Amino acid sequence: MTIYILRHGQAETQITTDEARKLTDKGRSDTAKVLQARLADMGSLAQIWVSPLVRAQQTAEIAAGYFPQLKIQTTELLVPEANPQALMDWLDELNAQQLISANQSILLVSHQPLVGALVNMLCSKPDDYYPMGTSSLAAIRAQVIAADMGDLLWLDHA
């Protein structure tokens, strides 16, 4: 399975609540550029999963524009403070139940610190080894979804 991990685009400063923050024009543009650069690599995308926070939902909508056949699905497992191990367990269960086949891929749209922790845990790297700025997109190949079992294929930044 290939796991694409996309951090949301640049968001406006907090006006009301963190959950309500929206993407800026730069955030939208950066996200579109990063995705366009890797569209050919993402042809086997089977699912898009996203955090319920507004800026992540808007980022996922940009991604879904390139994959109109896919429905955006939301999970609390992708909120910023989510447990990366719980997320890996859930992904492993999707893989085990063959809800995603070995030759397909999944896109996860989320936030820091979760995206950084997930990339580094899967790829057996220390915290903060792979930076995940806004609109960063990573591709990880893993036969088994567990810590230290992933291979970073590439990591692009806005």
pTM over 0.85: yes
Q: List domains and CATH numbers for the chain.
A: 2-12+27-156 (3.40.50.1240)
Q: Report DSSP state, residue 142.
A: E
Structure confidence by residue, pLDDT tens digits, 78-137? 999 999 999 999 998 888 777 777 778 999 999 999 999 999 999 999 989 999 999 999
d(CA 138, CA 62) in angstroms, rounded, equals: 16
Is the dihedral angle over the CA atoms 118, 66, 38, 151 positive or is it negative?
positive
Q: How far is CA 56 from the centre of its chain?
A: 9
